[in-house]
Amino acid sequence: FLMRFSDPAGDVIVADGRHFWLYYPSTDRTQVIRTTIAEGGEAVDLQQQFLSNPNQRFVSTLVGEESVGGRPAYVLTLVPRGASPYRILKVWVDKDDHLVRRFEMTEENNSVRTVEMRNLRTNHALPDNLFTFTPPEGAQVFDQ
C-alpha cells in the first residue's frame, strides 16, 4: 500500500508487508512513525475502511453529484457514530463502477486531508520496490 499526498505535499504512508510507515513532513520533518503489521495482516482496503457497514458506523447523507477526473460520482458525507480520529468524511463514489474516487477527512483538530484516486486500475501488477520506505537522513523513527 502506498499513498502519497499532494496536499500537504510530501506526506506519505507506505505499507511494506511488515510495517506501516507514516511520514508527515508537513507536520514534522524529523519524525517517522513505524507500526508493525500484525501477523497475517490484511491489505489496506479503503472501500472496507470507509464504506463497510455504513449505517452502523456513520450517519450518512447523499449531498449531490460531482465529477472526479471526468467521471460522474455520488458525493456523500459520513459522520462517525462513535469514537473516531476524524469528525466528518466526504466521499466521492463513482456512479458506474462504485469505487471510491476521492475522500476528504476532517480530523478532530480541523485539519483536512484529501485523497484523490487517479489512474485507478484494479488487479494491476506493480513492482515490490514501489512499497519500500527509507527514512530521510536525520529523521528519528518512533515505533508504535
Q: Which residue segment(s) compose the domain that 104 sits in?
A: 2-119+129-143
pLDDT at 49: 59
| Residue 76 within a domain | yes
Q: For 90-101, write each residue's pLDDT tens digit.
A: 999 999 999 889
Residue 124 domain flag = no
Question: Hey, what amino acid is at 86?
Answer: Y
DSSP code for 130: G
Question: CB 21: neighbour CB atoms within 10 A?
Answer: 20
> Is there a domain that residue 55 lies in?
yes
Contact 36, 18 (CB under 8 A): yes
Q: Which amino acid is at 20?
A: F
pTM exceeding 0.85 = no
Q: Share the mean pLDDT of the chain.
A: 85
User: Does residue 110 lie in a domain region?
Assistant: yes
Judge contact between 15 and 1, C-beta under 8 A: yes
Q: Which of 18-27, 93-102, 111-120 has the lowest mean pLDDT?
A: 111-120
Look at residue 93 and tell me if it is in a domain: yes
Assigned domain for 7 exists: yes
Domain membership of residue 16 (yes or no) is: yes
The total of structural domains in the chain comes to 1
Task: Express each pLDDT in 23-64 by its tens digit.
Answer: 989 888 899 999 888 765 555 555 555 556 778 889 999 999
CATH number of the domain bearing residue 94: 2.50.20.10
- Residues whose CB falls within 8 Å of the CB of residue 138, separated by 6 or more in sequence, listed in order: 30
Burial of 76 (0-12, 13-18, 19+ CB in 10 A): buried
The answer to whether the CB of 21 falls within 8 A of the CB of 31 is: no
Residue 28 lies in a domain: yes
